[in-house]
Chains A and B, each alone.
Chain A
Amino acid sequence: MNTIVHRAILATGFILAATASQADTSDKRIALSNNYAGNSWRQAMLKSWDKVTRKAVEDKIVAAADAFTTAENQVTEQAAQIQNMILQGYNAIVVNAASPDALNGAVKEACDAGIVVVSFDGIVTEPCAWRIAVDFKQMGKDEVLYLAKKMPEGGNLLEIRGLAGVFVDDEISKGIHEGVAENPQFKIVGSVHGDWAQDVAQKAVAGVLPSLPEIKAVVTQGGDGYGAAQAFKAANRPTPLIIMGNRQDELAWWKEQKDANGYETMSVSIAPGVSTLAFWVAQQILDGKDVPKDLTVPFLRIDQDTLEANLETTEKGGVANTEYSLEDAQKVIGGM
C-alpha cells in the first residue's frame, strides 16, 4: 500500500515537472554549432538532431532548434559562427567543437551574454560550458577486456588507430594499451592509422600486413573494421577477430560471417544520437534544472546476441543509432 502511494506521489511529481518544463522553455531558442558533416556518423548525428528537435518544436517544448555546420572544419570559422549565434539571440548553444580549447574565447563570450553552452562529442574545456563527454579510454580498454575473456590464451594484436593528433584517437589508444598492459598475454605487433575510414584502414592494413606474424585479433576505433576485413581477405590471410564500430557495413559483414562460420566479435561506438542528448540537457538547463557540468554518455555496444536486432534497425550504409528522450537525459543528469 505504502509503495503504491509513494509511486503515485512520484508520478504526480514527474507529470508536474514535465508540464512545468514545457511551460518554461517554450519561448527558448537553441542552436547547434557543428564543425564537420563529411562522414556517415556526422550525417546520422545531424539527422537525429533534426528528427528529435523538430518534434520538440512542434510540441512547443522549445521555440526553435536550428542546426548550423561550418564548411571547412576550421576553428576560426566555428568561433565566428558562435559569435553570430550570440548576436542572433539564441538562449542556448549546443556545440560539437573543432578543438577542445581554441573555441574557449567564443564560448566565454556566449556565457557572458547569458547563453547556456553545452558541448558534446568534441567538447570544450572552458569551465562555464557543460560537457557531455565520452569515456573513450574505457571504450578502448573494454575491447581488450572482451578479448581477454574471449581468448584467454592471448596472442598478437593489430591496432587500427583513428586520425593522428586528435584527442579521441589518443584516448582510445591509451585505453587499449592500458588493457594490454594488464593482460600481458596479448601483444600489439602492429599499429596503423585508419582515419576512421574503411578505405584508409584497408590501405594501411594491406601495406603492413604482409610483414606481420599471425594476427589473432584487430582492435579498432570504429569505421575501420570492414576495411581491415577486406585487407585480410585480399592478402589471403585467415580472418582474425575484428572488433567492429557499429557501422552498417561492418555489422552486415559480421552477420554474413556469423551465418557462414559462427564468427564471433563485438561492436562498440558512440551513437550519433548523442546530439539529441545534448539537446535535452540544454533544454533542462534552460528549464532551471541543476545539471552537473560534466556528464558522461554511455556507449552503444552490440554483442553476438543483439547483432540481428541492431542490424535491422540500422539504415543500409548508415551507423547504428539511438536517439535520446527527455527521460534518458534526466537519467544521465541524475547520474544513473
Chain B
Amino acid sequence: MTALRHLLRKPWIGAYAGALAIWLATVAFTEGQGGGGVLTAALSFATFSVLVAIGQMYVITLGPGNVDLSIPATMTLAGAVSMKVMDGNNAMIVPGLAIALGCGAGVGVFNYGLIRLLRIPPIIATLSSSFLFLSAAISYSRGLRIKPPPLLADFTTWIVWGVPVLAVAGMVLTFVMSVILHRTIFGRTVTAIGQNARAARLAGLPVDRVRFATYVMCGMFAGLTGYLVSGFSGGAALNMGAEYLLASIAVVVIGGTSVAGGFANLPGLWGAAMLLFLLVTMLNTYGFGAGIRMVLTGVIIIAVIAVASGRRPSG
C-alpha cells in the first residue's frame, strides 16, 4: 500500500497514466485491432521527441527564463549538413554523426555567447540565432533533400519483435543522462543553479561554466536528433524541425519537470512523448476534424499538466 502511494506521488505518473488511458481509448475504438502496432510507432517517434527534450530539460532546469528555442533550426542545420557530407555513403556514417554533433555544439557555443557576452535573454538570443542557423541551412542545402546512407536508414528504422532498436538506445541514453543529473557534480550543479543561482554562485559552484556546458549539450542533442530524423524519414527537409519546438517544451513540462527550473525528471519524458504521439493518433483514429483535434489536444495537455503538478512535491 505504501509502495502504491509512493508510486502515485512520482511526478511522472500523470504522463504515463495519460498515455495509457489514451492508448486504451484508441484500442477500444478499433476493437483491439492494431494496438501493438500503434505502440511500436509511438516508441519510434517518441524517441526523437525525448532526445531533443533531454537537452531542453537540462536548459529549463537552469532556472526561470532559460529555454532553447533554436532546437528546430539546429536540427535542420545538423541534418542538412550531415546528409550532404555523407551523400548516401555508408562509410561516412560516423564522420556524419560527428559533424551533426559538431553543428549542435557550435550552435550551443554561439547561443551562450549571445546570452553571456551580449547579455541577451535566452528566449531572444536562441530565437534570433535560430534565424541565422535556418538561413545557413537553406543556403547550404538550397532546399534540396539528400538521401541518408542506406545503413543509417536501416538502423533508424530497425524493429526487433515490435520494439524499435533506436528507442532502446534512446532509453539507455535517458538512463545515463538521469545518472548524470542525480549523481554527478555537473548534474547537481544544474539543479542547484535552477533552485537559486545566487546561492549556487556563493557556494563556489562554477555557474557560468555549467550553464555554458548545458547550452552546448542541448545543441548537441538537437544535432543528434536532426541526424537521426534525417536517417529515419529519408533525408533532411528544411521544415523538419518545426514540430519539435513546442514538442520539446511540452514533453519536458508534461513529464513532470518544473518549468520554473531546479527540478528535473527524466523518466517522465518517455511518458509525455508517448502521450503526445498517442493523442494525435487517437484523434486521427476517431476521425475528428482538424478544429476539434486542436481543441482536444489543448484541453488534454492542460488536464495532464494540472493533474501531474498537483502531485509534485513542494519546494
Report the nearest B residue to A207, measured CB to CB: B281
CB contacts (< 8 Å) of A208 on chain B: these are 281, 284-285
Binds B, one of A90-98, A136-144, A192-200: A192-200
Whole-angstrom distance from the CB of B46 to the nearest CB of chain A? 11
Known contacts: A197-B240, A198-B233, A204-B284. The answer to whether A316 contacts B290 by CB under 8 A is no
A207 & B277 in contact (Cβ 8 Å cutoff)? yes
Say whether A335 faces chain B, with CB atoms less than 8 Å apart. Answer: no
How far apart sit A47 and B38, CA to CA, in the bound complex (Å)?
41
Chain A interface size band reads: 35 or more
Whole-angstrom distance from the CB of B53 to the nearest CB of chain A? 16
Say whether B131 faces chain A, with CB atoms less than 8 Å apart. Answer: yes
How far apart sit A199 and B83, CA to CA, in the bound complex (Å)?
15
Say whether A203 faces chain B, with CB atoms less than 8 Å apart. Answer: yes
CB contacts (< 8 Å) of A200 on chain B: these are 243
Residue of B34, B143, B280, B284 ringed by the most chain A CB atoms within 10 A? B143
A211 & B235 in contact (Cβ 8 Å cutoff)? no
CB contacts (< 8 Å) of B234 on chain A: these are 198, 226-227, 230, 249
How far apart sit A204 and B134, CA to CA, in the bound complex (Å)?
25
Report the nearest B residue to A193, measured CB to CB: B290
A318 & B143 in contact (Cβ 8 Å cutoff)? yes
Known contacts: A39-B239, A44-B143, A317-B145. The answer to whether A199 contacts B284 by CB under 8 A is no
Whole-angstrom distance from the CB of B162 to the nearest CB of chain A? 11
Whole-angstrom distance from the CB of A31 to the nearest CB of chain B? 21
A202 & B284 in contact (Cβ 8 Å cutoff)? no
Known contacts: A164-B294, A249-B234. The answer to whether A210 contacts B144 by CB under 8 A is no
CB contacts (< 8 Å) of A165 on chain B: these are 290
Known contacts: A40-B144, A318-B143. The answer to whether A206 contacts B45 by CB under 8 A is yes
Say whether A209 faces chain B, with CB atoms less than 8 Å apart. Answer: yes
Residue of A37, A199, A208 ringed by the most chain B CB atoms within 10 A? A199
How far apart sit A202 and B230, CA to CA, in the bound complex (Å)?
12
A207 & B284 in contact (Cβ 8 Å cutoff)? yes
Whole-angstrom distance from the CB of B150 to the nearest CB of chain A? 12
Report the nearest B residue to A248, measured CB to CB: B145
Whole-angstrom distance from the CB of A245 to the nearest CB of chain B? 13
CB contacts (< 8 Å) of A260 on chain B: these are none
Known contacts: A38-B134, A190-B287, A318-B143. The answer to whether A207 contacts B238 by CB under 8 A is no
- Interface residues on chain B, number (Cβ under 8 Å): 48
B145 & A202 in contact (Cβ 8 Å cutoff)? no
Residue of B40, B131, B233 ringed by the most chain A CB atoms within 10 A? B233
B142 & A249 in contact (Cβ 8 Å cutoff)? no
B37 & A210 in contact (Cβ 8 Å cutoff)? yes
Whole-angstrom distance from the CB of A276 to the nearest CB of chain B? 17
B235 & A249 in contact (Cβ 8 Å cutoff)? yes
How far apart sit A28 and B57, CA to CA, in the bound complex (Å)?
55
Say whether A16 faces chain B, with CB atoms less than 8 Å apart. Answer: no
Whole-angstrom distance from the CB of B125 to the nearest CB of chain A? 16
Whole-angstrom distance from the CB of B142 to the nearest CB of chain A? 6
Say whether B157 faces chain A, with CB atoms less than 8 Å apart. Answer: yes
CB contacts (< 8 Å) of B141 on chain A: these are 317
A318 & B134 in contact (Cβ 8 Å cutoff)? no
Scan residues 164-213 of chain A and give those whose CB is less than 8 A from a CB of chain B.
Answer: 164-165, 190-193, 195, 197-200, 202-204, 206-212
How far apart sit A207 and B278, CA to CA, in the bound complex (Å)?
7
Scan residues 130-155 of chain B and give those whose CB is less than 8 A from a CB of chain A.
Answer: 131, 134, 138, 141-147
A315 & B144 in contact (Cβ 8 Å cutoff)? yes
Cβ contact of A210, chosen from B35, B229, B294, cutoff 8 A:
B35
Say whether A5 faces chain B, with CB atoms less than 8 Å apart. Answer: no
B157 & A211 in contact (Cβ 8 Å cutoff)? no
Say whether A42 faces chain B, with CB atoms less than 8 Å apart. Answer: yes
CB contacts (< 8 Å) of A23 on chain B: these are none
B38 & A207 in contact (Cβ 8 Å cutoff)? yes
CB contacts (< 8 Å) of A210 on chain B: these are 33-38, 40-41
Residue of B145, B277, B294 ringed by the most chain A CB atoms within 10 A? B145
CB contacts (< 8 Å) of A38 on chain B: these are 134, 138, 238-239
Scan residues 285-328 of chain A and give those whose CB is less than 8 A from a CB of chain B.
Answer: 315-318
A318 & B144 in contact (Cβ 8 Å cutoff)? yes
Residue of B34, B44, B239 ringed by the most chain A CB atoms within 10 A? B239
A211 & B290 in contact (Cβ 8 Å cutoff)? no
A211 & B33 in contact (Cβ 8 Å cutoff)? yes
Cβ contact of A234, chosen from B131, B157, B278, B290, cutoff 8 A:
B157
Say whether A71 faces chain B, with CB atoms less than 8 Å apart. Answer: yes
CB contacts (< 8 Å) of B40 on chain A: these are 210
Say whether B93 faces chain A, with CB atoms less than 8 Å apart. Answer: no
CB contacts (< 8 Å) of A44 on chain B: these are 143
A197 & B239 in contact (Cβ 8 Å cutoff)? yes
How far apart sit A193 and B239, CA to CA, in the bound complex (Å)?
15
Cβ contact of B37, chosen from A192, A209, A315, A318, cutoff 8 A:
A209
Scan residues 194-234 of chain B and give those whose CB is less than 8 A from a CB of chain A.
Answer: 229, 232-234
How far apart sit A235 and B284, CA to CA, in the bound complex (Å)?
17
B147 & A249 in contact (Cβ 8 Å cutoff)? yes
Report the nearest A residue to B147, measured CB to CB: A249
Say whether B42 faces chain A, with CB atoms less than 8 Å apart. Answer: yes
B44 & A206 in contact (Cβ 8 Å cutoff)? yes
| 6 more A-B residue pairs beyond the given contacts A40-B238, A249-B145, with a C-beta to C-beta distance below 8 A | A164-B294, A204-B284, A207-B280, A208-B281, A210-B34, A234-B44
B residues lining the A interface (CB < 8 Å):
26, 29-30, 33-38, 40-42, 44-45, 131, 134, 138, 141-147, 157, 159, 229, 232-235, 237-240, 242-243, 277-278, 280-281, 284-285, 287, 290-291, 293-294
16 contacts between A and B (CB under 8 A): A40-B237, A42-B143, A191-B287, A197-B240, A203-B277, A204-B284, A206-B45, A207-B38, A207-B278, A209-B34, A210-B37, A210-B41, A211-B37, A230-B157, A316-B146, A317-B235
A-B CB proximity, top 4 nearest: A210-B37, A43-B143, A210-B34, A317-B144
